[in-house]
Amino acid sequence: MGKYFGTDGFRGEANVDLTVEHAYKVGRYLGWYYGVNKNHKARILIGKDTRRSSYMFEYALVSGLTASGADAYLLHVTTTPSVSYIVRSDGFDCGIMISASHNPFYDNGLKVIDGNGKKLQGEVEAGIERYIDGLSDEIPFAKREDIGRALDYSMGRNRYIGYLMSIPTRAFKDLKVGLDCANGSSSSIAKAVFDALGAKTYVINNQPDGTNINTNCGSTHIESLQSFVTSNALDVGFAYDGDADRCIAVDEFGRVVNGDLILYVCGKELKKHGELNNNKIVTTVMSNIGLYKALDEAGIGYAKTQVGDKYVYENMVEEGNVIGGEQSGHIIFSKHATTGDGILTSLKIVETMMEEKQTLAQLIEPVKIYPQLLINVRVKDKKVVLDDPDIKAEVDNVEKALKGDGRALVRASGTEPVIRVMVEASTDALCHEYVLKVVNKIKEKGYAI
């Protein structure tokens, strides 16, 4: 990770950590970089979510891009996966999504996507950071006819909607579907897709006002959708986050179906149709042991990566795997997308329900999700903690005590001075007992702040 760019772009509180000047300079650099390296007037796509500050950052990016000679194409309010899709399908040099995903409205972020619809290469991010900090040569301003333009490109968002509608192989006739749009990017897209496919669509939290994105709604506040599904006797529900790159489902009984369960349902369906390349699903180290036991029972293999959809996708590309994701609901179907896509994920779940003639509750029934407890410990030095033999020994002792019916995991946060200690076990009481053994050992060694 760099000074400004983390695993999910440049993110922070608007005009505190991520300022309008930062956005302008990002635009200046990208407009110049792609113009010089591609030897043509750069074409750069911009999308944004519904945060109040997204408009400010959009205009700052446009100013920077056009001042460097690039043309800026505006998708307006849209989803992150739509930017990725249109960038690669319409031959843009890169795309920028203005969003802080599931964060509160006062945060924002810049996700830069390369011409292949993937997250930007590290060396380009490093170049942007040097330019922001004044450590590289000044970029010349475009002059006269070389100055760039800003153009409306809302047609791109409409084509993405059409693309989503084309993916399912059967209609969703008479299925009662609930959608929680988190007052974010999916508000103008998700219902239209499900309606067109024949579902009876019921929507909540689709009235964004600039400050209510993710507020007590969406994939991080699933209780709203749980209540909505059960009180309206719906067949299934889906909750998205602010930029709709993740999806958490709710079955007909109001029970949460997270990313691990989604991977099981969709991976098993791919295997049935002979489409599960390498007979393998890509997970992260945070996936539940219950998922792995169910996959073993189903004869499906799995890979484990670091936490982050970036690492999941890297594995998928390197090994040719076709499905992967995280507990949080970032699910990637490589046949259709290069990023997590919440709406696409929900379509795939419903398609499986229709194909198997089963409810979501029936599809997930073979998976026993183990209780999981995570405690964050603020520390002085993450690497010292991870390298300490006494900490490693304590983790080993916990794993031996669990006798294969649970596990312990200690890892460093990618964005904070925090060590994350997680234990899975057959009961909540065992999780609590064993996670405290590791946490207390970290504190005993004097590492905790």
Q: Are 203 and 179 in contact (CB under 8 A)?
A: yes
Query: Cβ(378)–Cβ(448) under 8 Å?
Result: yes
Q: Do the annotations mark residue 245 as ligand-binding? A: yes
Note whether 75 and 46 are within 8 A (CB).
Answer: yes
- Residue 241 in marked binding region: yes
Q: Which residues make Cβ contacts (< 8 Å) with residue 177, sequence separation at least 6? A: 194, 199, 200, 201, 202, 234, 235, 236, 237, 238, 350
What is the CA 202 to chain-centroid distance, rounded?
24
What does the alpha-carbon distance between residue 56 and residue 108 come to, in Å, rounded to a whole number?
A: 11
User: Could you tell me what percentage of the chain is helix, strand and coil, using 3-state DSSP and rounding each to the nearest 5?
Assistant: 40, 20, 35
Residue 84 · residue 163 · CB < 8 Å: no
How far apart, in whole angstroms, are the C-alpha atoms of residue 449 and residue 442?
A: 10
**Which residue's structure tokens are 């890509």?**
282
Query: Is 53 known to be catalytic?
Result: no
Does 296 belong to an annotated binding site?
no
Phi and psi torsions of 202, nearest 5°: -120, 130
- Determine which one of 101, 185, 187, 287 is catalytic: 101
- Residue closest to 76 by CA, chosen among 154, 24, 141, 128: 154
Catalytic residues, by residue number, are: 101
* Annotated binding-site positions: 101, 241, 243, 245
Binding residue ranges for Mg(2+) = 101, 241, 243, 245
